[in-house]
Structure 1
Amino acid sequence: MLRKSVTESFGAAISSLNAAHLTDGVVQRSKRMLLDTLGVGLLGTTTPVFHVALEYSKRYQAKEISSVWGRPESSLPPHYATFVNGAAVHAMDFDDTWHPATHPSGALLPALLALAESLPSKPSGLELLLAFNVGLEVQGRLMRFSKEAHNIPRRFHPPTVVGVMGSAAATAKLLGLSPTQSMAALAIACSSAGAPMANTATQTKPLHLANAGRRGLEASQLALLGLEGNKQILDLESGFRIFYEDYVPHHLAEVSPTAPYRWVLEDQDIAFKRFPAHLAMHWVADAAVKVRTKILDQDPNADLSQIKRITVRVPLSRYIDRPIPDTEHQARHSFQFNCCSALLDGAVTVESFSNNLMGRKALKELLLKVHLEHPKDNQASFDKMYCEVLVETAQGRTHTARCNTFYGHWRKPLTREDLEKKFKANASSVLTSDAADGIVQIIDSLETIPDCSVLGSYMQFHKHTPHKEKYFYTASV
């Protein structure tokens, strides 16, 4: 028997993986990802990026419709609902991050929920979990074929490359595509992959996730209709390898209906952010808060705006070295801004990126005192980097603190209580408290829910919109 190509092995795995392969650990980790993604997506519906994407997408209509998160009066064709909701998830750079570096959930969940709502036979919560994990698995496996992918990206934004492939795989699974059709979906999706890093720290960056989800969904729908692509898209030098020069693909293990399957998510947990900014900023903020505590412990009346010099030791990564950010999107990608915000306020929060706090005189003056250093041992990898902050006070004292692993990193995951607290804080910006509680309950017991599209319904309960009837989920339903 001829050995399958790498692409064939992926197509076979997408089609063959079933709910029995899901382990308790994978189910629990992916539920945390679903809850966090819905929360940051709801908060993202308050942003200008979301409003522009929604106004654009309202131009299109179709017989099949899916809901827009936080907008009970709005529905769109599934691929445009995916686009709009995906933009919301990444609108504030608040969504989860994996290693090798990518934002895995934002490319999957909007597409899966939009597709689920549009199908005549609604998938169960267990089917949603399976499809979501198939999409994660494809992303994780593809990124592990390259050493370059393990570093902080320099050339393109990874979710636009592996995210679109993950979306194609996840939606192919929900649509029940055959191995051959799943291969076609990957090939079609690959021709929609890629976005330059030059558009990070701009309003266009959230569209990277939006387009990854949308194009992946379109790829699987086109494959269902019979459209074909290169059957060796993951094998050829002119295929997926064009994104990673050191790409060396491997076959996925054969999937047996009864034998266990080892998921990437079992070996690699997810990072959840405590504030909406680039992941590297969380090392900086934690180190800066430690320095602030040392200063105030020594002198409780210290004027932190009068600091003489700040040295920040971080990996070399030019797109997050922004000494004087002009916009909130630049601030979310600025070592300097997040260090100074943490020093002045003792934390970085959603409000840190508001016009009022960004425009403070004390902050602007402090930014001028920041100097970056790039020690040779500080690798540009979210798994290996550290941040050290050294502050010289006006009185001539020096204080130093270092963060090797911030709270929320996959090595130091958020507790269930803190993750739920983050979700409710984000969701309450849009939804009623009853709806937010209902979503938590649904996610908790998702594998037992007969119709996963109920999640989309709960995402509609805007707290400023009257509803004649409200049906909230309980464990007895």
Structure 2
Amino acid sequence: MTGLTEAIGTYVASAPTAPPEDLLPLLRSAFIDTLGTMIAGRDEPAVALLREHLAERGASAAEASVLLGAERAHSADAALLNGTAAHALDYDDVALGGHPSTVLVPAILAEAQRIGANGARAMAAYLVGYEVWGELIAREPDPLHEKGWHPTAVFGTVGAAAALAALHGMDAARAAQAVALAGSMAGGLVANFGSMTKPLHAGRAAASAVEAVRLAARGFSASPDAMEHRAGFLAALSPKGRVDREAPATLGGALRIREVGLNVKRYPMCYATHRTIDGVLDLVSRHDLQPEEVASVEASIGETQAAMLRNHAPRTGLEAKFSLEFAVASAVVARNVGLGELTDGFVARPEVRAIFPKVRIATRDTRCPLEPAFAETDRVVLRTTKGEVLDSGEIRFPRGAALNPMEEAELHAKFADCTRGWNGGSALLDQLSRLETLPGLAALGGRA
């Protein structure tokens, strides 16, 4: 029986070089949303510090654009910076237990620019990376977050390596080597959520994928069973050792992306907060509540969600991204949870901090079949100072989810908000809206 690592290599080598017509809108949205959030995060401290760090290495090959500007770098360094920026605000899309596009798009963009691949091939490579990621995570019944692994950092590294191997047109043996190499480069800890290191996870995953593929292209060897071995990638990550290492791969059949899709974020917060935010915003708006009228808010969420939301009294905008207390407070005080609220100044406002002790988190042990790290539903119960009890009811899919999607106009509005103040946003959106027709990606945003 063909092993999993070998099967992935075979799938990558045989994958089409152009995406199916019906998936073009979804794949365009992945690039639009990711490059928008990348531009929005370009000035975040984590990105600035990383640029300083890389600058100390001296000049390197000018192979790919950094943040779609005039600066160019080695493709791995460009992927590192662009991936970190895309995830810096935690505003990028969600699926497969993590953030697929914030790893796949920066890696593909960097290498597509280096080798001159066209837009259609880049989109097809994205699809390969998504499907390999989906194949691997579908074998694990337990959320990796419970063991401290960040799925974006671990599955993203391997998925992006598969995407780049497809982009390069590697044969099955070399593609399998690239994937096996990437498995040993993967890593990222949930303990670092709410710090600059979390977005670095995405950047490092993208950069590691570039390195893995470029090493494999030179003939750098790796074990042919690195994914499925008892001491391999899947077994090492598995929280309870229940991962399926033996079932035949299902790659090449029905595409997972058609079933799972992409969840586009409406709020620049950990996705574990989004259903609660929707519930609070609806209740506050429907009943026209003022902050001082809110006596308490009970949010019922999944146990793994609660574990991710570790900051109960955040002091900074970065910490607030992983705080359900802040999510509720922002929804109550500002009736919005956007880029303007995720600032140190807003987090420090007395009326915001006054809501924190009014928030109670209750956990439930149900599990969403599409996102196992989340409960099947969340619920918000808000009590007013007048004694009223307001109930959101069960909330299944947050706004922007694949099964409760944004309209194209809403996606474009988010992109415009993310690129405000950046010269070239409208031109970039026009290019990405016809990505499959572009002969190359070097001139994205008019920055060639």
Q: TM-score, normalised by structure 1?
A: 0.87
Q: 1:5 aligns to what?
A: 3
Larger radius of gyration between Structure 1 and Structure 2:
1
Q: 1:321, CA displacement in angstroms?
A: 4.2
Q: Is residue 139 from structure 1 mapped to residue 133 from structure 2 by the alignment?
A: yes
Worse-matched range after superposition: 377-386 or 400-409: 377-386
Q: 2:405 aligns to what?
A: 413
Q: 2:308 aligns to what?
A: 319
Q: Is residue 387 from structure 1 mapped to residue 378 from structure 2 by the alignment?
A: yes
The answer on whether the counterparts of 2:367 and 2:374 sit within 8 Å (CA) in structure 1 is no
Unaligned runs of 5+ in 2: none
The answer on whether the counterparts of 1:163 and 1:212 sit within 8 Å (CA) in structure 2 is yes
2: CA distance, partners of 1:269 / 1:130: 15
The answer on whether the counterparts of 1:86 and 1:110 sit within 8 Å (CA) in structure 2 is yes
1:347 aligned to which of 329, 333, 336: 336
1: CA distance, partners of 2:268 / 2:290: 27
Q: Is residue 227 from structure 1 mapped to residue 220 from structure 2 by the alignment?
A: yes
Q: 1:32 aligns to what?
A: 29
2: CA distance, partners of 1:45 / 1:156: 26
Q: Is residue 166 from structure 1 mapped to residue 164 from structure 2 by the alignment?
A: no
**Cα distance, 1:383–1:372 mapped onto 2, change above 3 Å:** closer
List 4+ stretches of structure 1 deviating above 4 A: 151-154, 376-380
The answer on whether the counterparts of 2:135 and 2:251 sit within 8 Å (CA) in structure 1 is no
1: CA distance, partners of 2:110 / 2:322: 30
2: CA distance, partners of 1:439 / 1:446: 10
2:427 aligned to which of 435, 438, 442: 438
The answer on whether the counterparts of 1:26 and 1:263 sit within 8 Å (CA) in structure 2 is no
1: CA distance, partners of 2:123 / 2:270: 27
**Cα distance, 1:187–1:357 mapped onto 2, change above 3 Å:** same
2: CA distance, partners of 1:303 / 1:452: 49
Q: 3-state DSSP class of the match of 1:10?
A: helix
Q: 1:465 aligns to what?
A: none
Q: 1:378, CA displacement in angstroms?
A: 6.9
Q: Is residue 118 from structure 1 mapped to residue 128 from structure 2 by the alignment?
A: no
Aligned length: 438
Q: 3-state DSSP class of the match of 1:102?
A: coil
Q: 1:464 aligns to what?
A: none
Q: 3-state DSSP class of the match of 2:429?
A: helix
Q: Percent identity?
A: 23
Q: 1:53 aligns to what?
A: 50
Instruction: Output the amino acid matched with 2:135.
Output: R
Instruction: Output the amino acid matched with 1:9.
Output: A
1:360 aligned to which of 328, 335, 349: 349
Q: 1:279, CA displacement in angstroms?
A: 0.6
The answer on whether the counterparts of 1:58 and 1:76 sit within 8 Å (CA) in structure 2 is no
Q: 3-state DSSP class of the match of 2:379?
A: strand
**Cα distance, 1:161–1:254 mapped onto 2, change above 3 Å:** closer
2: CA distance, partners of 1:351 / 1:104: 25
Deviations 1:309-337 (A, max 9, x none): 22222222223143211222221111111
Q: 3-state DSSP class of the match of 1:106?
A: helix
Q: 1:252 aligns to what?
A: 249
Q: TM-score, normalised by structure 2?
A: 0.93
2:236 aligned to which of 235, 242, 249: 242
Q: 3-state DSSP class of the match of 1:19?
A: coil
2:13 aligned to which of 12, 15, 28: 15
Q: 1:303, CA displacement in angstroms?
A: 3.6
Q: 1:84 aligns to what?
A: 81
Q: 3-state DSSP class of the match of 2:65?
A: strand
1: CA distance, partners of 2:243 / 2:107: 27
Q: 2:392 aligns to what?
A: 401
Q: 1:153, CA displacement in angstroms?
A: 4.9
The answer on whether the counterparts of 2:366 and 2:375 sit within 8 Å (CA) in structure 1 is no
Paired residues for 1:151-230 under 5 Å: 153-230=146-223
Q: 1:404, CA displacement in angstroms?
A: 2.4
**Cα distance, 1:390–1:171 mapped onto 2, change above 3 Å:** same
